[in-house]
Amino acid sequence: MSDRTPDRVALLALPALVYMVIVFAIPVMVLIGRSFFGPSGLSVTPYIDFLSDGFNWRVIFNTLRTAALTTLVCLVIGYPTALALSWSKGFVQAIMLVAIILPLSVGVIVKAFAWQIVLRRDGIVASLLMATGVWDEPKLLLFTETGLVLGAANIFLPFMILPIYSVLKLIDPSLQHAAATLGAPPVYRFFRLSLPLAASGIISGCSIVFSLATSMYVIPSLLIGDRYQTLPTLTARAFLLMRNERLGSTTATILLFLTIAIVMLTAWLVRRREVQT
Amino acid sequence: MQNSVLEVAGAEKAFGSTTVLSGVDLAVENGEFISLLGPSGCGKTTLLRIVAGLLSADRGTVKLSGADITGLPTHMRGVGVVFQNYALFPHLTVAQNVAFGLKAQQISAGDIRATVAKYLDLVQLTSMADRPIRGLSGGQQQRVAVARALAVSPKLLLLDEPFSALDRKLRELMQIELKRILREVGITTVLVTHDQEEALVMSDRIAVMNKGAIEQFAAPGLIYQKPASRFVLDFVGHSTRIAGTTAKTTDGLLAIETAFGTLHAQSGYIPGSPVTVAIRPERISMSMAQETPPSVNVLSARLTDIIFQGSKYHLLFENQGDSHLLVEAGRIPEGMAVGANVHLHWSLEDTLVFPGAQE
Amino acid sequence: MTATERIWTFVTCLVATLVVVFLATPLVVTILTSFGSSSLFTLPPPSWSVRWYQRLTSVRGLGSTLLVSVEIAALSTFSSIVIGGLASIALVRGRFPGRTAIGTFLTSPLMLPGLVIGIALLQAFRFAGLRDVWTSLLLAHMIVTLPYAVRTIYSSLLLFDFTLVEAARTLGCSPMQAYIRVLIPALAPAFITSGIFAFLASMDNYAVSIFFTDAWTKTLPIMMLNLAEEQPDPTIAAISSLLIGLVLIFLIICDRAIGLRRIVDQH
Ligand SMILES: Nc1ncnc2c1ncn2[C@@H]1O[C@H](COP(=O)(O)OP(=O)(O)O)[C@@H](O)[C@H]1O
Ligand SMILES: [Mg+2]
């Protein structure tokens, strides 16, 4: 009867679990497994082939570099925003929340396409820089790395703001006052109090943005084009254009391991912080 | 007993390796209000949930009005429950909460409305009918919960610590109010509580529970004056306790040697066993040392402290510096002050003896 | 107000304004472009018009593509809420080992690159002999939508007081009736919001869909991607603006259901 239901209740997880195992876990495992199978059984030849090509190193480097730059821009803009969000109240806060949630809920293609327009030679950014005198003549930002990072940072910014905000809003504001009464100047308070307290939010924000930026596909396709290959664009090309599934499986697996490594690194960092504090 | 509404026999329950109920027997008469009184964690809620069918016992039977309902699912039992946190449905209004159980039955909309109105009137919440649950005070929530449980006309009503969420003043008010409501309906009721005053005030009989077993099931007066065990003595009310050793019995009077001299009691014990003599503090009389009191049990002690408690006084006595004896009095006898030597005396009936030395 | 407080207030407002402008830029640009008369994306447009919206009717295959997208999104969302809701009940109420691991597993597609999932499914479906585009899309999109359902319903169930279900049973409801009459209404906001976010995630998905579409059956994002590559003109901006409008409506519903702040907490 009812006290035994908790055990029978476990059966309710079965449909979802079975579905996810068959349609998700097994295919992903097979993908990983197959990338280690050459024509003559188990081997790492595909990886050796892949990594012995300088172009491919370039691709990996591009991927990580763009992701790192995007994360950095997001952090630099996102942290003050999260702070402002936690200080603000009422109407201002509501406006900010809408400004974060609305773009977050709009599809990536819509936003990436908009950035194609923004980054044109006659786009908003160029006009703005001309008007302020930073540029003397209009330049094309589209198809440059700067344009890519700017667009990606804009699209992923909410994923940086929200985790930091969720930590900041839990911090007791009286801590700031207490530190001030103890004679700590603002800069000292920032580095010794605000930043360490927000660290777990910063870590998870960076982790989310970094892995999103590592695996983004539409944004580089629309904002920088084929010249600049990253792991995801190369993966898609391998399958959709080159019909080279071996290459595609290899890059996909590298991408997968990269993402898993980020997740595990983050978990490790967070756990280490919890042990320390 | 043919008249029993509820009969629990040999109920046992264990969660994993922890035994929570070890053979509980309980019979509640028609229209009776009984309390399950015991410390937190003694298994009261578990017993209640077994009666309601929300939990099944490992062993034992539950009968309702003579019919065995041990295997019957909750919704077919006709047992109403007022939960500890009231468990009101937050998405419904007060009236919709009361109507909830009626809607599960085949009852016409008009009858439902009439019944809801009747029970809202009974708990004096008619004006709140269309309010959402969220804004209600604790007392109002409790009354909604009671009305909701009563509206389906259960044969038995179970209340699980219904006053624990209320502050003290409100709790005392609601105890009287609930008693009025339940008397009006005339329903057999089992109240679970860890508050002895609540149990003493509200119940026709009290079942004192300890570690998954009922130690005594009797009327409140009897529980207080003749506690069946050391546990009941300790759990219900205060007591003054003196350690002693039994000596021989003469003329039906048991002599007990204590640090305060020889005391007497009624019951029979083998000479030489360690016992505890206990007296309810308000049953002890005091007189100044010069007079000789008439009681069989007299001891003299020095008054060390007087604690004013509003309606009464607690007086602390000491003898040879070791034991503190507590006496409760409505007023301080004339001429008695701290440091005075006083005779404490009490009757044979008020002398309670329990096996085992004082802890 | 002290001088420092005034400075902080100023800084807060400044940061807030700048970031709101920055975040709103792509959406505003899209909407302005869609109402411009020029096909050259000039901003501000030389004059206003609705010609790009009128042109939508003549975009070949837009109607059927939209239908496929909505069908797939609605069906995968609905099935995800059903099996994800059941799984959430098991995870919250069950007493079995590995519950946390199962929860992480069911939401893990959120953390993995969509392309990788798409490729894995492409190979698996091919191995299983599944050729039908529509079915493949549906099966694949459920992997996208299920994590949203599990995440939201699970966190709402954690807050749900299960004595309410017991109360319903003491009032004469069978266990099934009790769940239907108490649990479902109490969780309605969670169903609505998780449903909306799952639906949007499916509607926007390209990373998984891109491997399953063909010339005849495609989803809206894939079509937009094709249009953006082949003939970029404000038609895409018009489609985008309509999608933004849809998101706006959905967010208003979510706000009514659980409030803006809890939507933020969900993310
Ligand atoms: N579902 C359960 N699983 C394990 N232990 C339980 C469960 N329910 C109650 N217990 C244990 O049983 C004991 C009695 O609980 P309960 O009947 O709620 O006590 P009371 O209501 O008298 O405070 C407690 O020690 C409690 O921890
Ligand atoms: Mg209890």
Q: Per-residue pLDDT tens for B24-62?
A: 999 999 999 999 999 999 999 999 999 999 999 999 999
B5-31 residue pLDDT tens: 999 999 999 998 999 999 999 999 999
Collapse the DSSP code of B341 into the 3-class scheme (helix H, G, I; strand E, B; otherwise coil) and give the result: strand
Q: Do C169 and B87 touch (CB under 8 A)?
A: no
Task: Give the residue from chain B lying closest to A6, CA to CA.
Answer: B55
Overall average pLDDT of the A57-86 stretch: 93
pLDDT at A1: 41
* Burial call C46-62: b when 16+ CB within 10 Å, e when fewer: eeeeeebbeeeeeeeeb
Min mean pLDDT across A20-29, A177-186, A199-208, A223-232 is at A177-186
What are the backbone angles phi and psi of residue B165, rounded to the nearest 5°? -90, 0
Instruction: Give the residue whose CA is nearest to atom 21 of ligand 1.
Output: B45
Percent of chain B with pLDDT over 90: 66
pLDDT at B359: 59
Residues 149-188 of A with CB under 8 A from C: 154-155, 157-158, 162, 165-166, 186
Q: Do C83 and A19 touch (CB under 8 A)?
A: yes
Q: Which residues of A touch C250 (CB under 8 A)?
A: 105
Contact C129, C169 (CB under 8 A): no
B304-349 residue pLDDT tens: 999 998 889 999 988 776 678 899 998 888 878 888 888 889 988 8
Question: Which pair of structure tokens corresponds to residue B327?
Answer: 């006496």
Most confident of A197-201, A239-243, B283-287, C245-249: C245-249
pLDDT at A233: 94
Task: Give the residue from chain B lying closest to C182, CA to CA.
Answer: B89
pLDDT at A45: 81
Please check whether residue C183 lies inside any domain of the structure: yes
Q: Cα(C226)–Cα(C207) distance, rounded to whole angstroms?
A: 14
Question: Which are the contacts of C158, defined by CB distance < 8 A and separation ≥ 6?
Answer: C92
Please check whether residue C19 lies inside any domain of the structure: no
Tell me which residue range forms the domain holding C222: 60-240+256-266
Collapse the DSSP code of C252 into the 3-class scheme (helix H, G, I; strand E, B; otherwise coil) and give the result: helix
Residues 215-274 of A with CB under 8 A from C: 215, 217-218, 221-222, 232, 235-236, 239-240, 245, 248-249, 252-253, 255-256, 259-260, 263
Please check whether residue C186 lies inside any domain of the structure: yes
pLDDT at A122: 78
Task: Give the residue from chain B lying closest to C176, CA to CA.
Answer: B75
Those chains having 3 or more beta-carbon pairs within 8 angstroms of chain B are A, C
Min mean pLDDT across A9-18, B182-191, B246-255, C191-200 is at B246-255
Percent of chain C with pLDDT over 90: 66
Arithmetic mean of pLDDT over chain B: 90
Please check whether residue C212 lies inside any domain of the structure: yes
Task: Looking at the CA of B210, name the nearest ligand.
Answer: 1
Instruction: Give the residue whose CA is nearest to atom 8 of ligand 1.
Output: B46
Contact B276, B258 (CB under 8 A): no
pLDDT at B293: 66
**Which member of B52, B75, B81 has the closest CB to residue C173?**
B75
Q: How confident is the model at residue A6 (pLDDT cuts 50, 70, 90)?
A: low
Please check whether residue C36 lies inside any domain of the structure: no
C35-86 residue pLDDT tens: 988 877 777 777 888 888 998 888 888 999 999 999 999 999 999 999 999 9
Residue B245: beta bridge partners?
B257, B274
Task: Looking at the CA of B164, name the nearest ligand.
Answer: 2
Please check whether residue C170 lies inside any domain of the structure: yes
C18-39 residue pLDDT tens: 999 999 999 999 999 899 888 7
A33-63 residue pLDDT tens: 888 876 777 778 878 888 888 899 999 999 9
Overall average pLDDT of the A129-141 stretch: 80
Number of domains in chain C: 1
pLDDT at B229: 92
Question: Which are the contacts of A215, defined by CB distance < 8 A and separation ≥ 6?
Answer: A231, A232, A255, A259, C112, C113, C114, C115, C116, C207
Overall average pLDDT of the C238-252 stretch: 93
Instruction: Give the residue whose CA is nearest to atom 18 of ligand 1.
Output: B45
B121 CA distance to ligand 2 middle (Å): 30
Please check whether residue C30 lies inside any domain of the structure: no
Please check whether residue C2 lies inside any domain of the structure: no
**Which member of C171, C174, C186 has the closest CB to residue B148?**
C171
Q: How confident is the model at residue A3 (pLDDT cuts 50, 70, 90)?
A: very low
pLDDT surpasses 60 at A4: no
pLDDT at B289: 64
pLDDT at B291: 66
C48 CA distance to ligand 2 middle (Å): 70
Those chains having 3 or more beta-carbon pairs within 8 angstroms of chain A are B, C
pLDDT at A83: 87
Strands B352-355 and B274-279, sheet pairing: antiparallel
pLDDT surpasses 70 at A254: yes
Q: Cα(B303)–Cα(B333) distance, rounded to whole angstroms?
A: 12
Q: Do A235 and C115 touch (CB under 8 A)?
A: yes
Of C115 and A142, more confident: C115
Q: Which helix H or strand E contains B244, and what residues bound it? A: strand B240-250
Q: How confident is the model at residue A128 (pLDDT cuts 50, 70, 90)?
A: confident
Q: How confident is the model at residue B195 (pLDDT cuts 50, 70, 90)?
A: very high
Q: Which residues of A touch C12 (CB under 8 A)?
A: 83-84, 87-88, 92
Instruction: Give the residue whose CA is nearest to atom 20 of ligand 1.
Output: B41
B32 CA distance to ligand 1 middle (Å): 26
Min mean pLDDT across A152-161, A235-244, B247-256, C206-215 is at B247-256
Q: Do B54 and C177 touch (CB under 8 A)?
A: no
pLDDT at A273: 78
A73 CA distance to ligand 2 middle (Å): 55
pLDDT at B340: 87
pLDDT at A26: 96
Instruction: Give the residue whose CA is nearest to atom 7 of ligand 1.
Output: B15
Min mean pLDDT across A138-147, B92-101, B309-318, C205-214 is at A138-147
Q: Do B87 and C181 touch (CB under 8 A)?
A: no
pLDDT surpasses 70 at C224: yes
pLDDT surpasses 70 at B1: no
Arithmetic mean of pLDDT over chain A: 87
Q: Cα(B191)–Cα(B48) distance, rounded to whole angstroms?
A: 9
pLDDT at B358: 64
Q: Cα(B258)–Cα(B277) distance, rounded to whole angstroms?
A: 9
Q: Cα(A91)–Cα(B321) distance, rounded to whole angstroms?
A: 71
Pocket of ligand 1 (CB under 6 A): B 15, 20, 38, 40-46
**Whole-model pTM?**
0.82
pLDDT at A2: 44
CATH number where C187 lies: 1.10.3720.10
Residues with CB under 5 A from ligand 2 (ion): B 45
Overall average pLDDT of the B120-133 stretch: 94
Question: Residue C44: is the preceding peptide bond cis (ω within 30°)?
Answer: yes
Strands B240-250 and B253-258, sheet pairing: antiparallel
**What one-character DSSP code corresponds to residue C209?**
G
Task: Give the residue from chain C lying closest to A112, CA to CA.
Answer: C26
Question: Which residues of A lie closer than 8 Å to B, measured between beta carbons?
Answer: 1-4
Which amino acid appears at position A160 of this protein?
M
Overall average pLDDT of the B168-196 stretch: 93
Span between the terminal Cα atoms of chain B, in Å: 40
**Which member of C23, C93, C120 has the closest CB to residue A6?**
C93
B14 CA distance to ligand 1 middle (Å): 9
pLDDT surpasses 50 at C91: yes
A136-186 residue pLDDT tens: 887 788 889 999 999 999 999 999 999 999 998 888 777 777 777 787 777
Distance from CA of A8 to the nearest CA of B (A): 15
